[in-house]
Every structure is written in structure tokens, then in C-alpha cells.
Amino acid sequence: MSVTEPAYVTREAVKKALDVKGTARSDDDIDRSIQAASRAVEGQLHRKFYPRDMTRFWDWPSYQYALPWRIWLDAWELAAIPTSVTTGGQTIPLGNLFFEPANSGPPYTSMEINRSTNSAFGAGPTPQRDVTVTGTFGFNLDSTGAGALAAGVSDTTDTSVTVTNGAAAGVGDVLLVDTERMLLTDKAMASTGQTQSGAGCASASNADSILTPSGGTFYVGETLLLDAERMLVVDKAGATVIVKRAWDGTTLATHASATIYAARSWTVTRGALGTTASTHSSATAVSRYTPPSLVTQLSLAEAENNLLQGISGYARTVGSADNARPVSGQALADIRAQAYAQYGRKARRRTV
């Protein structure tokens, strides 16, 4: 199953947590689980944690029982100040609006007319869709660096990009390149342009040092490919890269002067989440959006539970014979409660 929606935990994080060996089948199972887990988390917390550029509509007056100068955004929280707000087709200057809560947002859960101005909602001939908001909806726009493009993107339809750091993002992440968002849906190996130096390495798990022309071009957490063996980079010192051998279910082998590949060819969905696909120059910075850590941890727990329940036919037990009993879900319930207490959108926040 290909990834079609943003996930709050990546394929790689689940594989690492459960020590899943890489196969096409296991990747499909994990992709399905991370998407299901992310949608379950959204249902539990009643909000989405990734940004989307779009236009949304509100009736005014409405049945929100709100003050006449306020509109509650409900599920359509704003991740940033919008680009446009209109009422009855007439633009309300953004300087005449307050987006609340001012002290803790984003996300912004309501907007209010500044009562010291002459702006007002309700300029349309009917209450239906009187207020229109165009902007970025979601939880926030927090992001972190994810390397850079190793080659330019010369058109708006190519779904493959090559990057400088294969470990900086995982399948399911939302990326930002210039003003274009991309959804990372898969990874493949690409040549790093480097060849193994020195005497090579033996077919032994303790032969875990690879001498390269430049160790600085590799990153901890990257998956490398030498011949048919995958290796996980766990450390580096100068030109020497320290690896965990036979990674992702591959077999130990002897290597000498092997070309070094890394998982830096990424398959992406272009122009994702309301943005427009565009061209990009080589060395353009890549960043990835980061949901709150507790949301990621809950998504990981839900994804792990989905996988393990599926393997057992949803009949997981502990113990044996007369001591066999269903697996307790108390730990999962605990992290759900923690996430809801911190990030759940509560049901009633209005004047009654």
C-alpha cells in the first residue's frame, strides 16, 4: 500500500522500534499501519497536525452562540495568520482582526473583529457562507532541516527527488522545498559518488568499519548499500563510517572497492496539501514538518499495536496454557490519555 496521506510517525521509525526486516510486504503493512494510526490519533484528539493551504467558509450569523464579533474555527484551526478574510465578498483588513489565543497560538481557534475598527461580519445578502478564510490550516508550522536537494528539479511533474541526507526524513513525512510541500511516499538507493577505500570489509558482523574518501558526506541513521548488503550508519570518525552490518534483512558479504549507495532517491507527491508544484535548484534546502513529540509517540504506539494485532489475528495473548490471557492495553490507554490531555481539542469552549 502506498502512502497517500501524511503520517505522524514514519515507516523507518516503526521498523526500528520493532526490528522489522525490510521486505516489500512488510513495507506495505507498515505503510498501512502508520496511516491508520495517524487517522486514529486525529480521531482521538479531534484535530490535524499537518498544514494545508485552502479556503474555508463560515455562516454568519451562525448557531455557535458566539459573541457577534467572534467566529469559532472549530475543526478548521489556523496554523498561521491567514492571507485573506472576506465577508459577503468584501475583504476585511487583517489588521482589523484578532486571531486567538494570541498568547499561545498557533493553532488559532477563533478570530475576532477588533471592535475599535469599523469592520464587521455579515456584509453578504444571506448568512450562508458569509465569511471566507484563505490560509494555512492545521496545528502549527514547526519544522526542522532535512538536508538539501542533491540535484535540481527541472519540471513540475517528476515525482523523484535526490537529496543529500537519506536519514533526515522518513516515509510519511511532509516536506517543504521553497514554497512547495511534498509528501514522502517511498525511498530508493542512489549513488553517493563514493567508492569504498582501503582493504574492504570481511563477511563478519564485527567488520563494522568502512573506510571512505570522505566520511563527512554520510549521516548517522542512513541506510547504505554495498553490493547487495545493506548497512545502517551508527557513527562516523573522519573518513571512517561505523555501521551495523546485514541491515534490513540482507546477508553479510565481503566487499572491496564497492560503490556506496544510500537511500537518497525519494519518491514524493508533488504540490501536496494545497501548494503548487514548481521547479527547484540544486542545493535548495529541504525541511520537514514536525508534529508534537507526544503525538508522534502515540502514533508509533498505535502503529505498533496495529501491526502486532494483525500478525496475531487480533488475538494476542501472554502466558501459555492455563495462564494464557489477552494482552493488556493499559499502556496504550495511558499514552492516549496523556496525548488527549495535552493536545486534544476539547468539546465545549463557547458561550452558552
Q: DSSP states of 190-253 as a string?
A: EEEEEE--TT-B-SSTT--EEE-S-GGG--TT-EEEETTEEEEEEEEETTEEEEEEEETT----
The pair phi, psi for residue 339, each rounded to 5°, is: -65, -40
Rounded mean pLDDT of 202-222?
88
Tell me the domain boundaries of the chain: 52-137, 143-289
| Of 124, 133, 113, residue with least CA distance to 52 | 133
| Of 217, 221, 169, residue with least CA distance to 193 | 217
Residue 162 has pLDDT above 90, yes or no: yes
122-138 pLDDT per residue, tens: 999 999 999 999 999 99
237-287 pLDDT per residue, tens: 888 999 999 988 889 999 999 999 999 999 999 999 999 999 999 999 999
3-state class (DSSP) for residue 53: strand
Q: Is the peptide bond before 213 cis (omega within 30 degrees of 0)?
A: no
Average confidence score pLDDT of the chain: 92
